[in-house]
Structure formats: structure tokens, C-alpha cells
Amino acid sequence: MSTAASVSPRSDPGIHPWWQALPFAAVFLAFFVIPLGLVLMVSFWDFNEYELLPAFTWRNYVSMWEGCGRLNEYGDFCVTLSTYLSTLKFALLSWALTLVLGFALAYFLAFHVHSVGMQTLLFVLCTVPFWTSNVIRMIAWVPLLGRNGLLNQGLEATGLIRQPLEWLLFSDFSVLLAYVHLYTMFMIVPIFNSMMRIDRSLLEAARDAGASAWQTLWNVIVPLSRTGILIGSIFIITIVMGDFVTVGVMGGQQIASIGKMIQVQTSYLQFPLAAANAVVLLLTVLMIVWGLTRVVDIRKEL
Amino acid sequence: MSHDTDKTRSEPQRRQILKGAAAVLASGMFPAIHAQEKITLRYLGTAVNQDKTIAEKFEADTGIKIQYVAVTTDEVTKRAITAPNSFDLIDTEYFSLKKIIPTGNLLGIDSRRIKNADKITSLFTQGTVAGKAVGDQGTAPKKVMYLEKPESKKFASAPTPFMTLIPTVYNADTLGIRPDLIKRPINSWAELLNPEFKGKAAILNIPSIGIMDAAMVVEDLGLYKYPDKGNMTKAEIDLTIRTLVEAKKAGQFRALWKDFNESVNLMASGEVVIQSMWSPAVTAVRTKGIACNFQPLKEGYRAWAAGFGLPKTLSGRKLDGAYEFINWFLDGWAGAYLNRQGYYSAVLDTAKAKMDAYEWAYWMEGKPAAKDIKNPTGDVLAKAGSVRDGGSYEQRMGSIACWNAVMDENEYMVRKWNEFVAA
């Protein structure tokens, strides 16, 4: 009897946890699930110049992929495919660069800076790029990287180059530079957080067992930081996949991105087309995130 | 007992209140209570036209408050269609009307209530400047100026008393150039794609406008003559976009721009020496002390026009207030203010009355400036002796080749434009 009584509160917690979950669930429902449902619904609607026509049509999804079965007259992929490839390319490159940079910086902060005060100070230094507005930060690259910018003038003065380097600005390079500059912080923070939770005695044990510094890094630190790496990766990939502001400003609006495509469509009131695009983008990002969580079981690790 | 004490206490209170009320009346605060009911008009439009000084002047003149709602051109159209209750007065471009009017969200403006309606320039009412017809390719205002009935969803083919929009500002766009870096005369649209400016040209990344600039180039290169650049067939869109893609692949464009400030930066930094541009952007580059011309070209200009419209939901005092604002706007002060910024106003006579003779001669008659020309905030725009690009009103507006437009094949055009951006 008495055991049954003591077990029952645990096996049947009653209604209380549901109440506790309710506020957040309500927010989630109102601001995420319902809007997403609407986007999904509208993506199947028809439209004309000035109104949305409730219907069920695959037209938006079909027109997105029109002409994608073959290369076009210039030997390129169709617009949707080449836009996705371009965005994926940026996501992959900026992910790799921010990972290497973020990991190195987090490693330095976690293992080579010993005082908490110093760690805090250096952390604050890492946030310097965020002290000005996003747009100003990006526009500030122009006088630095431009044709008559500081860098080109400096290089010309040293005689290293005769003609200004054109690829410094409004190019893949400048877009990538801005991404790395802006988003490395999103990699540093979660990796640093994981690293700080590594038991220092494990490192001692590795050293005692005769592991070299590289072996300790690769076999102890990297595996134990993987949740941080994963969370950082999810941040970077989702941000870059959806971005249209940075790629617009730094790419001179000449580099296609999915976000930009969606933005152009909404501004021309082609909401169903934009919604269809958004759904495909969401699925793509979800697939990537799902793939990443297959590699690291984030629930088990946290 | 208690009743008595209450009475003695309440009596002085009552007197005090009466005295207070009398003091309020005497001090003339009564009109203040009235003024609290004064109306506020929500003015939806782009920031370019929403000048704080104009709202302040109007409030000082009439007591009606203007609350600006500043959004982008595309957003203005979007709100007119999706949220017609969110504004009392809309300032939108004429080409947007092809999207807005079929929704029935705008009310035809009764021109009998507009004092200067018959003085609105003939460019809008008949499509002529100084008696000569100008280009009407695209959404020329005269095509969308009138409605059969106030609630009509269709445009009238001949003038009626019901106007869709009362024009606020308009102008004609062309290429902007850096004469100090190009060092030779530029006189045709084809120069935009001239390989000489490889990597130093830019085009507008607003599909419906950018494609018309491209069409001017295509025609000028002798590739094709469009029956209507503002309403292309699919084949014509393909041809135009192909020309752009080829230029882009050859590295012709340094950048595309969408925002007024972007175009100023590109030009001022020297990244770009030739690009499609807007008149106030050219002015902005010049006020930095950098040479920049709004270059007249032999094929003519691409014109645009914006105007006030009234939402159908407007009624009562707010409707009267909106009419009052429009009447005030056409009365000269606002027109003079806009003319000094390089735009043109709808009623020229009233604006002329509010401008100095030397200002009028510079801005409107294409004559050399007798004195330094200043903008409304007092910065010098042009030194004495200089002449406005494009000359007089008749010269500039008389050379309109086409108007900003929305095409029937808009969806296809936007898709092809995305292809150009992705190429």
C-alpha cells in the first residue's frame, strides 16, 4: 500500500506539468505554428496582380522548378537551382571558416586564458563587431575594400599590385568575409560553453597516459565539444541560408540568394510564390539540421 | 446632523468648481477643448515625399495634423491592397494604380472639390507638354487618371470629374554619370552597356523599373524596337533579360542597387561611373562636392509620377480634412518647396507665385542661376552661373520616352529578373 502511494505521484504527475507548459506552448502555437500553417496554406493558393485567390494548386511549386530539367541557353542551371546552389555554397564555406576560427578562439579562451576576469574581457572584445548596427557595419567595408579603398591604396603604394583588386568588394569574397566577421561569435559562444564544462582532470589523464597535444585535442577536446560545435553549426547554417541583407550589400546585389528571391516576390505581391519558396527553403534547412543531429544526439549530450 | 455638515462642506466645493470653470472659460481655454478634437491624417507614402516641414506648415495653416507613415514604394502598394484602413491619405505612384484600382480600395477624388483641379499640368490630363504630346509607353498618368464613377474599379478612357490621384511630384529619370572620371560626352542610353565602362556600371535592382532602363539600351543598340517598353511580351522580356545577362557575365556591372543611398555611395566612392539614377541622388552626390551629372540622353527619359489618393473608407471630417490638405498642397507653398528640391509640382502657376524669380528661372526655365541656388534647408546646390541638367521644364518633360509601369506579364518578368540576378 505504502509503496503504491509513494510511487503514484511520480507515475501520474496529474495536470500540473501541463499547466506549466501551457504559456510557452501558447506562445509557440500563436507565433510559430499558426503562421507557419498559414504560409503552407498560402503556398497552394493562386494569385493575380492584386489579390490572393484561395484555391489548391501546385502552380507555385511547379513554376519554381520550371526549366530545371536542363541547362539554360548560357549553360547554367535554372534560376531556382542555381540560387539554392549559390546559397548552399555560402552556407558551407562560412560554416567551415567560422568553425575553424570559432573553435580556435574558443580553445584559446577556455584553455589558455586562466583568469575569469581576462576571459570576460576578451569575450567582450569578441562582441565588438556587434556594437554598431548591422547595415553600418557592412557599409563600412566599402571604403576599406573598394576600388579606391584603403587596402587597394596600401597595396598599390607598396608596389605589390599595379591595378586595384576588383574582387575585394561586391564579390563572393566580400560576402564571405562579412559572414565570417558577423557570425563567428555564434560559433565561439556555444563551443566555449562546452569546453568550459570539460573536466580538466581528463586533460591531465591524457597527458599522463602519454598523449601528445594534438592527440588530446582530437581525441578528448573535440569529441567533448561536439554539442557546442553542433549548436554553432545550426546557428550559422540557418542564418546564412535565410540571409538576404548581407549578401545584398556585400555582393552588390549581384549575387542571388533564396532570401532575396523571396523578398522580391513579396514586394511584387506574389505571396503564394514566396510562400512556396519559403516552404522549400524551410524543408531544406530542416533536412540539414536533421542530418546534423544524426551525427550528434543533442538531447543525450546536453 | 451629519446631513448638515455634509452640506456645509459641499457648498464651498461647488462654488470652487464653478469659479474654476469660469476661470477656464475666461482664460480662453475653451478653444483648447475644441482643439483636442482636431483631426490627424495618416499619410501613407515613401519617405522621399514626406517632408517634416510640409507637415508643420500645413498644421500651422489649418490646425490639421499630418502623421507620416513612411514605407517603401512596394510596401505602399501592398498596404493599399491589403490594409486600406491603415491610412487616411495615400501618396503612391501612378503605375501602382493598375494593381490598386481593381481592388476598389480607393475612392475617385471629386475634382469639383479641388480648387486648382483645372490648373493641373496638361502632362497628366492630356499627356502633353507645351501642346506637344510626350511618350506614353508604360503606365502614362493620362491612361489611369480618371474613373467613370467614384466607386469604379475601371479606368475611364476620357476625362471625368473623378480623379484617381491628384499629382504630388513627378520627374524624369535618366543615367547619372561621373564626368570627371568618364572625361568624354555621354549622350545615349547604350553607353550603360558600353564595354569601356566594364566593371564600372550599375543598374537599378527594382525589376519593373530596371527592365525599362535595359529596354532603352536595347532599343538604342538597335537590337529591337519595342511597341511598348512598359508592357512587354514574354519574347520581349526574354530578349531584354538576355542582353542584361550577357553584359553581367562579361563583368559589365559593378553592382546593382535598390536603395537611394546605395546609388549615392556607389557614385560618390567612384566604384561606379555610370548608372541608372534618381534626381535627388545626383543632388546628394553633388552636395558632397563630387561632380555628377544627371545626363540628358538623345532617346529621352523614363518618367514617373506620384499622387494623392483617398481610401474608400474615409468619411466625415477626415474626408473633409483630406480634401483640405490636397487643396492646400496645390496652393503653391508645397509646390515651391518641392520644385526647389528638383522635383516638379502639379500646379505650376501657384508654385511660381511662391518662388523667387531667379529660382524659377533656374529650376523651370533652364536659365543660368543669377544667384547661388540653395535647397530648402539652405545648403548650396548650384553656384551662380550654373545651368540645370536637362534644361527647362519643357525640354526635360517634353523628352519623356516612357513611364514607370506594371506589365501584364509581371510575374514572368520578375522571374526572369531573378534569373538575371542569379546569372
| B32 has a pLDDT exceeding 50 | no
Residue B21 confidence class, pLDDT cut points 50, 70, 90: low
Domain ranges of chain B: 36-164+304-330, 172-300+399-422
Residue type, B348: L
| A10 has a pLDDT exceeding 60 | no
| B144 has a pLDDT exceeding 70 | yes
Q: Please give the tally of structural domains in chain A.
A: 1
Can you give the CATH number for the domain in which A230 is found? 1.10.3720.10
Highest-pLDDT range among A15-19, B32-36, B354-358: B354-358
Highest-pLDDT range among A87-101, A133-147, B40-54, B366-380: A87-101
Question: 10 Å Cβ neighbour count for A147?
Answer: 21
Instruction: Kindly indicate whether the domain formed by B36-164+304-330 is annotated with CATH number 3.40.190.10.
Output: yes
Residue of higher predicted confidence among A34 and B28: A34
Q: Answer whether A143 sits within 8 Å of B269, measured CB to CB.
A: yes
pLDDT number for residue B215 = 95
Residue B18 confidence class, pLDDT cut points 50, 70, 90: low
- Mean pLDDT (whole number) for A24-33: 94
Of A72, A147, A273, the CB nearest to B271: A147
| B184 has a pLDDT exceeding 80 | yes
Cell representation of residue A140: 563600412
Beta strand pairing status for B274-277 and B380-382?
unpaired
Express each pLDDT in B233-245 by its tens digit.
Answer: 999 999 999 999 9
Residue B56 confidence class, pLDDT cut points 50, 70, 90: very high
Express each pLDDT in A109-125 by its tens digit.
Answer: 999 988 889 999 998 88
Give chain B's mean pLDDT: 87
Q: Answer whether B99 sits within 8 Å of A49, measured CB to CB.
A: yes
| B78 has a pLDDT exceeding 60 | yes
- Mean pLDDT (whole number) for A134-160: 84
Q: Answer whether B255 sits within 8 Å of A170, measured CB to CB.
A: yes
Q: Answer whether B422 sits within 8 Å of A166, measured CB to CB.
A: no
pLDDT number for residue B14 = 54
Give chain A's mean pLDDT: 87
Residue B383 confidence class, pLDDT cut points 50, 70, 90: confident
| B228 has a pLDDT exceeding 50 | yes
Q: Answer whether A253 sits within 8 Å of B419, measured CB to CB.
A: no
Residue B389 confidence class, pLDDT cut points 50, 70, 90: confident
- Mean pLDDT (whole number) for A219-248: 92
Express each pLDDT in A276-296 by its tens digit.
Answer: 999 999 999 999 999 998 888
Q: Answer whether B265 sits within 8 Å of A139, measured CB to CB.
A: yes
Residue A261: closest CA among chain B residues belongs to which residue?
Answer: B418
> For residues B186 and B175, is the Cβ–Cβ distance under 8 A?
yes
Strands (E), B83-181: 89-93, 106-107, 109-110, 128-129, 132-133, 146-147, 162-163, 166-177
Does residue A112 lie in a domain region? yes
- Mean pLDDT (whole number) for B184-207: 93
Separation CA B369–CA B389 (nearest Å): 12
C-alpha A32 chain-centroid distance: 19
Of B98, B207, B415, the CB nearest to A49: B98
Same fold: B36-164+304-330 with B172-300+399-422: yes
Q: Answer whether A264 sits within 8 Å of B199, measured CB to CB.
A: no
- Mean pLDDT (whole number) for B270-281: 90
Separation CA A86–CA A82 (nearest Å): 6
> What's the gap in Å between the CA of B73 and the closest CA on chain A?
9
Residues of A in contact with B248 (CB under 8 A): 254
pLDDT number for residue B23 = 53
> For residues B337 and B54, is the Cβ–Cβ distance under 8 A?
yes
pLDDT number for residue A4 = 45
pLDDT number for residue B31 = 46
Q: What are phi and psi of B55, to 5 degrees?
A: -60, -40
Of A72, A170, A265, the CB nearest to B414: A265
Cell representation of residue B215: 529596354
pLDDT number for residue B288 = 85
Separation CA B373–CA A32 (nearest Å): 55
| A63 has a pLDDT exceeding 90 | no
Grid cell 549578401 in the structure block, residue = A247
Separation CA B252–CA B243 (nearest Å): 11
The 3-state DSSP composition of chain B as helix, strand, coil percent (nearest 5) reads 45, 20, 35
Does residue A29 lie in a domain region? no
- Mean pLDDT (whole number) for B334-342: 89
Q: Residues with Cβ < 8 Å from A189, sequence gap 6 or more? A: A232
Least-confidence region, from A83-87, A91-95, A103-107, A264-268: A264-268
Residue B15 confidence class, pLDDT cut points 50, 70, 90: low
pLDDT number for residue B233 = 95
- Mean pLDDT (whole number) for A231-258: 91
Locate all alpha helices (DSSP H) within B160-273, ordered by sequence: 179-182, 207-220, 234-249, 260-268
| B280 has a pLDDT exceeding 60 | yes
pLDDT number for residue B197 = 94
Residue B100: closest CA among chain A residues belongs to which residue?
Answer: A50
**B68 pairs with which residues across the strands?**
B43
pLDDT number for residue B322 = 94
> For residues A230 and B379, is the Cβ–Cβ distance under 8 A?
no
Residues of B in contact with A86 (CB under 8 A): 422
H or E element, residue B281: helix B279-287
Q: Answer whether B271 sits within 8 Å of A256, measured CB to CB.
A: no
| B374 has a pLDDT exceeding 60 | yes
Residue A142: closest CA among chain B residues belongs to which residue?
Answer: B269
> For residues B176 and B281, is the Cβ–Cβ distance under 8 A?
yes
The percent of residues in chain A predicted with pLDDT above 70, rounded, is 95
User: Residues of chain B whose C-beta is under 8 A from some C-beta in A?
Assistant: 72, 74-75, 77-78, 81, 98-100, 102-103, 199, 202, 205, 207-208, 242, 245, 248-249, 253-258, 262, 265, 269-271, 406, 410-411, 414-415, 417-419, 421-423
pLDDT number for residue A5 = 45
The domain covering B172-300+399-422 belongs, at the CATH homologous superfamily level, to Periplasmic binding protein-like II (3.40.190.10)
pLDDT number for residue A79 = 85
Residue B106 confidence class, pLDDT cut points 50, 70, 90: very high
Q: Answer whether A264 sits within 8 Å of B406, measured CB to CB.
A: no
**A45 pairs with which residues across the strands?**
none
| B418 has a pLDDT exceeding 70 | yes
- Mean pLDDT (whole number) for B39-62: 89
pLDDT number for residue A146 = 86
Cβ-defined contacts of B179-185 (< 8 Å, 24+): B179/B291, B179/B292, B179/B293, B180/B290, B180/B291, B181/B270, B181/B273, B182/B273, B182/B274
Of A74, A170, A264, the CB nearest to B254: A170
Residue B55 confidence class, pLDDT cut points 50, 70, 90: very high
pLDDT number for residue B4 = 43
Separation CA A110–CA A104 (nearest Å): 10
Residue B2 confidence class, pLDDT cut points 50, 70, 90: very low
Does residue A33 lie in a domain region? no
Triad B258, B261, B263: Cα angle to 5°: 60
Q: Answer whether B410 sits within 8 Å of A49, measured CB to CB.
A: yes
Residue B71 confidence class, pLDDT cut points 50, 70, 90: confident
Residue of higher predicted confidence among B1 and B10: B10
Grid cell 474599379 in the structure block, residue = B153
Residue A3 confidence class, pLDDT cut points 50, 70, 90: very low
List the one residue out of A106, A291, A122 whose CA is nearest residue A186.
A106
- Mean pLDDT (whole number) for A205-212: 92
CA R_g for chain A: 25
| B329 has a pLDDT exceeding 90 | yes
Does residue A9 lie in a domain region? no
> What's the gap in Å between the CA of B317 and the closest CA on chain A?
30
List the one residue out of B112, B208, B136, B221 whose CA is nearest residue B417.
B208
Of B78, B406, B422, the CB nearest to A256: B422
Record the pTM. 0.80
Residue of higher predicted confidence among B26 and A134: A134
Separation CA B309–CA B318 (nearest Å): 13
Q: Residues with Cβ < 8 Å from A102, sequence gap 6 or more? A: A184, A185, A186, A187, A188, A191, A232
Separation CA A147–CA A53 (nearest Å): 49
| A19 has a pLDDT exceeding 50 | yes
pLDDT number for residue B399 = 93
Residues of B in contact with A83 (CB under 8 A): 418, 422
